[in-house]
Amino acid sequence: MDADLTAAQRSLLRATQLIHVAAQRAETQAARGLDDLEAVLLLGAVRTLGWQAMVLLPEGLPLIGAVPSGVGCLAALEEAEQELRARPIWEYPVGTSALVVALCDAIATTRAGAWL
């Protein structure tokens, strides 16, 4: 089914897969510190990003398969942002700009140390 996708849809799929990896990493982090509210907030934010990204894609696409180049949740989120910036925003489905903004907010909050 990947062959039927436009370049922008393939890019969005990769970004969604990277967000899925970030969610898995955030879940691992949250499980380690069960009383850590920041880790739980990060997990919630990343899961929300994943849902937001999934609704922009055609149904039935695999959400696994991406291997981020970096380690940790933040690295996967940053790579997803880079993927979405690789193409002009107008090539993506309507709603992608809101995803990019939410992704950048999550990255900024994480970099500031609020969720790590």
Q: How far apart are CA 31 and CA 58, in angstroms?
A: 32
- Looking at 2-116, list the stretches that DSSP marks H as alpha helix, in order from N- to C-terminal side: 7-32, 37-54, 73-84, 96-111
pTM value is 0.90
pLDDT at 35 over 80: no
Q: How far apart are CA 70 and CA 111, in angstroms?
A: 15
Give the CA diameter of the chain.
45
> Where in the chain are the domains?
2-111
Q: CA torsion, points 107, 80, 57, 98, in degrees to nearest 10?
A: 30
- Determine the pLDDT at residue 114: 58
- Determine the pLDDT at residue 103: 96
